[in-house]
Structure 1
Amino acid sequence: MRQSRWTPSIVPNVSDQNVYFVLDCFERSGCAWREPDIGQTDLETVIHDLMSGQYNDPQRVVPFNTFEHWADDVSEDVAREIRRRADAAHQDLSSSIEDFVVRHAGRERQLNLRLA
């Protein structure tokens, strides 16, 4: 009888935690799922990294949960949140993140009304 070899999992050992990956594209090298540091796989860190220009040309944001066995594309939700935060802070976005936001959330912007 042939014995199967054990192969370690590449999936982080986190219980009931969403792990977020960003599909990032590079001019000549193509696209890759960027591997975040193990302690920085949460949504807040991904949004901060996107807004601060840590990605070259982000295409998608996909979380997965190994405990619950699911993955989803949350690019539109992330794009809307980035737009909301930038608008609230009266902050301009870099061209790469602006492209991501327009691609997933459209060109519409929320205008802040100042009440006297």
Structure 2
Amino acid sequence: MPRSPSIVPHADPGDVYLVLEDFGGGLGRAWSETSEDDTGRATLMRQIMEGQYKHPARIVVFNTAEGWSRDVTVEIADALRRCFVEFDDVAPAALEFIERVRRN
């Protein structure tokens, strides 16, 4: 009987950032699917600023090689606020995310 491939990456990918997206209504929240190459901090921040996430509810970073994880929602929102000048255009969803996190 053939074995299913492991979902654990073979190489140490370093820190992996994932977004819990709030789809609203009856859909609720779900972890957004993303390729392994798109799980870095810089890529995540660019994707939020471009509006690829419409309602990010939580951002978590983890490192399986080191055995830790933590919520970095506030940290990412603060970093985005500081780097507005680096982006030509900021998506309304990004602005809403930063303001919502700041209020909480």
TM-score interval, normalised by the smaller of the two chains: 0.7 to 0.9
Structure 2 unmatched ranges of 5 or more: none
Q: Is structure 2 residue 67 aligned with structure 1 residue 104?
A: no
What CA distance in whole angstroms lies between the structure 2 residues aligned with 1:9 and 1:69?
A: 18
Q: TM-score, normalised by structure 1?
A: 0.73
Q: Is contact 1:20–1:46 with CA below 8 Å preserved after alignment?
A: yes
Q: TM-score, normalised by structure 2?
A: 0.81
Task: Give how far 1:89 is off.
Answer: 4.4
Which residue of the other structure, out of 11, 14, 17, is the alignment partner of 2:14? 17
Task: Give how far 1:37 is off.
Answer: 0.8
Q: Is contact 1:62–1:72 with CA below 8 Å preserved after alignment?
A: yes
Q: Is structure 2 residue 47 aligned with structure 1 residue 53?
A: no
Counterpart of 1:70 in structure 2 is: 68
Q: Is contact 1:20–1:42 with CA below 8 Å preserved after alignment?
A: yes
What CA distance in whole angstroms lies between the structure 2 residues aligned with 1:84 and 1:92?
A: 14
Counterpart of 2:35 in structure 1 is: 37
Which has the bigger relative contact order, CA under 8 A and spacing at least 6? 2
Q: Across the two proteins, how many residue pairs are aligned to each other?
A: 101
- From the two aligned structures, give the one with the greater helix fraction: 2
Task: Give how far 1:105 is off.
Answer: 3.0
